[in-house]
Structure 1
Amino acid sequence: MTSSTETRLTSGQRLTRGLAHTAAGPVDITRGALGLGANALASAVSNARQRYRDSQLRKELAEAQATLSRELSTAGEVLAELPENFREARANQPKSKRPWIIAGAVAGALVLGGAAFAFVRRNTTPEPSPLPPSVQVDPKP
């Protein structure tokens, strides 16, 4: 019984088979050699492309490191000058009574809130009803 599906040979298998059947397989030898050459060429091109990408990546990485170094040195200078800038800002700022006014307003609001709470709570307690209870309060023995 003959199989209807052909298995494709790789270039190496084709070369091996061609060399084994030297008299019958000059076409296989040629196709195998060309296939191996094409695979080698494709591999070399891929390798060159990868090296080019790596070199571009190295250049970009070096530029990024240089930029980061400049930014960090600038940030260090700004941080070194920060305490002096704060001192100057505080020296130029007039003394104000504003924090004391805010603290007094908060304390007054707390006192008034407490008084209002006590007043409302005292007025919300129910007064005893003038009617007699609907349920007997004292149980019978």
Structure 2
Amino acid sequence: MRRGTRARSPEPLNEHVRNEMSCMPRRDTKPELALRRELHRRGIRYRVNFGGLPGRPDIALTRVKVAVFVDGCFWHACPVHGTLPKNNREWWQAKLDRNVERDKEEDAALAELGWIPLHYWEHDDSDEVADEIEWVRNSVLGF
């Protein structure tokens, strides 16, 4: 494939599948909202879907340069819960592999800019994730 071109998506199996995929939220998912509520409850302030950074972090703690991503198990190939559709299997495998590769590239770009990228799975406990984010934040601030 030439640079700058995208592989054309295969036709969905049926109209139901098309509707399901088009309704998938890109932001404000339940796991993201739960984490944001917990961080806010703890007094940790952040920006949501912070533009201008590689990967457009779901949550950005701009003062300490921490970029938080809440990754979906399907889209980011979770080793525990990730699945591969039966229809168009090869296309989906390449798509999901590229997503994982892109995540690594964006993390490297963030690190070059002085940001700390943190990734969590959608199934991770929001209290535990908030504990870790708070610990990283406090470490950077010297608390």
Pick the TM interval, shorter chain: under 0.3
Compare the two structures and name the one with the higher helix fraction. 1
Larger Cα Rg: Structure 1 or Structure 2? 1
TM-score (normalised: structure 2): 0.26
